[in-house]
Amino acid sequence: MRWPSLECDYFRLTPVEGKGHGESLDQFAFARGDFILADRGYCHAAALGEAVRQGAFLTVRLNPQGIRLQAPGGDLFPLVGKLKSLQGAGQTAEWEVRIPRQDPAAALQVRLCAVRKSAAAIALAQKKLQRKARKEGWQVQPESLIYAQYVMVLSTFPTATYNTQRVLEAYRLRWQVELVFKRLKQIAQLGHLPKHDPESSQAWLYGKLLVALLTEKLLQAANTFSPWGYPFPEPLGTESLA
In a domain, 1, yes or no: no
Give the global pTM.
Answer: 0.82
In a domain, 103, yes or no: yes
In a domain, 75, yes or no: yes
Residue among 86, 46, 36, 94 nearest 68 (CA): 46
* Inter-residue contact 108 to 52 (CB < 8 Å): yes
- The Cα–Cα gap between 22 and 115 comes to 29
In a domain, 226, yes or no: no
Which pLDDT does position 68 carry in this prediction? 92
Please state the domain count of the chain: 1
132-181 pLDDT tens trace: 999 999 999 999 999 999 999 999 999 999 999 999 999 998 888 888 88
- The Cα–Cα gap between 47 and 58 comes to 11
Domain that residue 47 falls in: 25-171
Please give the angle made by the CA atoms of 207, 213 and 218, to the nearest 5 degrees: 125
Span 191-217, average pLDDT: 84
Type and span of the H or E element at 53: helix 45-53
> What's the mean per-residue pLDDT of the chain?
88
